[in-house]
Structure 1
Amino acid sequence: MGELVVIRHGETAWSRTGRHAGRTDLPLTEAGEDVARALAPRLSEREFAAIYVSPLTRAVRTAELAGLSSAEPDADLIEWDYGRYEGLTADQIQDLKPGWELWRDGVDGGEDLGHVTVRVDAFLGRVRPLLDRGDVAVVAHGHLSRILTARWLGLDASAARQFGHPHPGTVNTLGYEHKLPVVLGWNVP
């Protein structure tokens, strides 16, 4: 059985400052491009049966620089639509809505967790059969990667709160152990 290699895009100006970047199409910073390039030697050691990428620029550019230029864009991998919270930090959202917690309260005017879960489940449904042929790479976003991991493990999407936020340009590896879905690596630079 192959492994699902989930790569978070490189740094953007918003990820560096903790701003929620859902659908805003941001470029990588210079540091983000450097981190993406640094992934290339490690990823070149693997043969991928398929490679998928969020169609947002920060993910597509990360895939290109990491040597995954044959990645197929998949709209189900776009980051959570944060609605009115787009571009805000968690502290700024707390000022607007004291006690707010993303996984419990969701967002105002954007996508609810259930909709993100439907997208992630559809993607996993298409990808799981490909793992019989080998590894599959995914270049996506922080919160989406956490939800994908929770669903990979068969957990409710809200369990994504229990996974540390993947740092920009890191690799998270999902696979199987004794036929059970497991996390094989998390937040690996």
Structure 2
Amino acid sequence: MSLICKPFVFVRHGETPLNRDKLIGGRTDVPLTEEGERQALAAAPLLSTWNWSGIAVSSLQRARRTLELALPGAPHTVVDGLRERDWGLIENRPISELPPYESTPPWGESWETFSSRVTDSLNGLLEQYEIPLVVAHSGVFRVIRYYASGTPYGDRVGNVVPMWISPGKTEEEWQIVPLTESLLVR
């Protein structure tokens, strides 16, 4: 599988109590902290400069609330396939206990199943919209990073840090950089 070669913007949800406490969140449906709400509000000026062709958001409340605060009243589609990976029995455990991404946690979702679900969802959006905005989770970003660099490993994307995801001339040449207003004016 691969991602359709079209640009889009990715935003990870705001901080949650589990992020703050360095715990594995996965499918656990938690709200934003006050800091997470501030992060979402702080992204509003940049995100509102663009007339998005489509906006998609994970079905989990932390992503939906981030979008609600960053772009109040914006038309959007809830895409269940963009929800975070199910980490099974290790959800709510310390992040230090996170196994390699290629491993399947007990009673959890395999990397193959997760990345396939996310890829199908992203490709559906890329087929439908010119430059969509996607509001989801760090695991979804790891799938994107996998296509861009060949590995899901690397620094965790920041909470509510909009990222410009842009293909190069080939499927292997992706650019991932923080979004700036100048990138949206292309």
Bucket of the pairwise TM-score, normalised by the shorter protein: 0.7 to 0.9
RMSD between aligned alpha carbons? 2.2
| TM-superposed deviation, 1:55 | 0.8
Residue 97 of structure 1 corresponds to none
Does the C-alpha gap of structure 1 residues 127 and 149 become closer, same or farther in structure 2, counting only changes over 3 Å? farther
Q: Residues 16-42 of structure 1: CA distance to partner in whole angstroms, max 9, x if unpaired? A: 111111111100000100000111100
Per-residue deviation, residues 96-121 of structure 1 (Å, max 9, x unmatched): xxxx6322433111101011011012
Equivalent residue number for residue 131 of structure 2: 135
Secondary structure of 1:135's aligned partner: coil
Contact 1:149 1:174 in 2 (8 A): no
Aligned residue for 1:105, secondary structure, equals coil
Q: What is the aligned partner in structure 2 of residue 74 from structure 1?
A: 79
For this pair of structures, how many residues does the alignment match?
174
* Helix, strand or coil at the partner of 2:54: strand
| Corresponding residue number in structure 2 for 1:164 | 155
Aligned to 1:28: 32
Q: Give the structure 1 partner of residue 115 of structure 2.
A: 117
The code of the aligned residue for 1:169 comes to: V
More strand by share: 1
What amino acid is aligned across from residue 103 of structure 2 in structure 1?
D
Q: Is 1:185 aligned to 2:177, yes or no?
A: yes
State the TM-score, normalized to the length of structure 1: 0.83
- Structure 2 contact 90–105 (Cα < 8 Å) conserved: yes
- In 2, the alpha carbon distance for the partners of 1:139 and 1:130 equals 16
TM-score by length of 2: 0.84
Contact 2:149 2:174 in 1 (8 A): no
Alignment partners' CA distance in 1, 2:137 and 2:55:
15
Contiguous gaps of at least 5 residues in structure 2? 181-186
C-alpha distance in structure 1 between counterparts of 2:67 and 2:170, whole Å: 29
On the 8 A contact 1:84/1:107 being kept in 2, the answer is: yes
Question: How big is the shift at 1:46?
Answer: 1.3
Contact 1:167 1:187 in 2 (8 A): no
Do 2:103 and 2:110's aligned partners in 1 also have CA atoms closer than 8 Å? no
- Determine the C-alpha separation between the residues in 1 that align with 2:11 and 2:26: 16
Contact 1:54–1:78 (CA under 8 A) maintained in structure 2: yes
Which runs of 5 or more residues in structure 1 are unaligned? 94-99
**Structure with greater helix share of residues:** 1
Q: Distance in 1 between matches of 2:99 and 2:178?
A: 23
Match for residue 96 of structure 1?
none
- What letter is aligned with 1:172? M
Task: Work out the percentage of aligned pairs sharing the same amino acid.
Answer: 28
Q: CA deviation at 1:173?
A: 1.4
- Within 2, Cα distance between the matches of 1:59 and 1:104? 25
Residue matched to 1:150: 146
Q: How far apart in 2 are the matches of 1:36 and 1:81?
A: 24
